[in-house]
Amino acid sequence: MDHETREARTTFGTSHQMSQPTAELLRQLVAHLRQNRTQLREEWARRITEAKLLTAMTKEEIFAEATSVYDNYVEALETGTFEALQAYARNLSERIIPRGVETHEVVGIVLLLRDVLARSLFAKYQNDFALLNRILDAYEPAANRIANTVAVGFVQERERVIREQQEAIRVLSTPVLQVRERLLILPIIGVIDPQRARQLTEQLLRGIRTNRAKVVVIDITGVPVMDANVANNLVQTVEATRLLGATVIITGLSPEIAQTLVTIGVDLGKMNTVGDLQGGIEEAERLLGYKVVPLAETSELRT
């Protein structure tokens, strides 16, 4: 039926003169939505549960959110301004994103509301086809804009959260630590993207300067995957470090990464690699001229 009405509108709709201005029609529409608030809201909440959307939330929560979304929706229709709705959408997103609500769910519920309201309009104006067409003419663009606003608000909020988290990871995950005089370690945890590789390198180079380091152990046990780009970034880091007069020892190359690197043919020949972090630190100590011996042995040496 939905489909047929639409077709009818496209054929007849244009021939109808707008006898009543859109504003007046919208007023009528808003009054209708206000009148049937309880019933439509319930219908909407029911449809949401039926469609298995917002599964992360309880029934009561869905109903409460549905109420405020409904009211905001009607208000946006009435005033024709979207700032309040935008703010509300952002606020809503902020609350529901941490609970794992997905983009398709948010878009889904707004579209459901649009359908529920359109159905109620069909039911109300089914006897006056021309008026229904004009009401829909007024309703649809506004409804589409609302759907758009909410969806965009949600996605923007999500992106903001992602950016914030990326930043947090970036700040947290690249410590340059001094283990011994002139010996730094750089444990890398997580995925290395070009941006992070750049930041890592800059931080390391600065650390070498300030700590007057001679040897750096880069531990990549915590790096899950490595492709040609990451490997090249690593090679660049090593080369830049050498220009500052320090030596790099890479430790913790997993069997998978070793295989990948050989397969894609990255030239790691100039790199110092040692199996694990302990071995790396021992090698570094050797380069620096340290020798670690148990206390007992040193007393033996003295006597």
**Binding positions for another protein, rule: CB under 8 A:** 198, 201-202, 205-206, 208-209, 212, 214-215, 236-237, 239-247, 270, 272, 287
Q: How far is the CB of 201 from another protein (least distance, A)?
A: 6
Q: Would you say 149 or 272 has its CB closer to another protein?
A: 272
CA distance 193 to 227: 10
Q: How far is the CB of 68 from another protein (least distance, A)?
A: 51
Q: Would you say 59 or 270 has its CB closer to another protein?
A: 270
Q: How far is the CB of 281 from another protein (least distance, A)?
A: 15
Q: How far is the CB of 240 from another protein (least distance, A)?
A: 4
Residue with tokens 């608030």: 37
Q: How far is the CB of 267 from another protein (least distance, A)?
A: 12
Q: Would you say 72 or 272 has its CB closer to another protein?
A: 272
- DSSP characters for 92-108? HHHHHGGGT--HHHHHH
Q: Would you say 174 or 241 has its CB closer to another protein?
A: 241
CA distance 278 to 263: 27
CA atoms within 13 A on the CB side of 140: 10
User: Of 29, 68, 54, 47, which Cα lies nearest the Cα of 113?
Assistant: 47
Q: Would you say 40 or 238 has its CB closer to another protein?
A: 238
User: Of 120, 134, 144, 130, which Cα lies nearest the Cα of 2?
Assistant: 120
Q: How far apart are the first and last CA of the chain?
A: 102
Q: How far is the CB of 106 from another protein (least distance, A)?
A: 42
User: Of 223, 303, 221, 231, which Cα lies nearest the Cα of 267?
Assistant: 231
Q: Would you say 133 or 241 has its CB closer to another protein?
A: 241
Q: Would you say 59 or 242 has its CB closer to another protein?
A: 242
Q: How far is the CB of 200 from another protein (least distance, A)?
A: 11
Quote helix, strand, coil % in the chain, to nearest 5: 70, 10, 20
- Could you tell me whether strands 272-274 and 247-251 are parallel, antiparallel, or unpaired per DSSP bridges? parallel
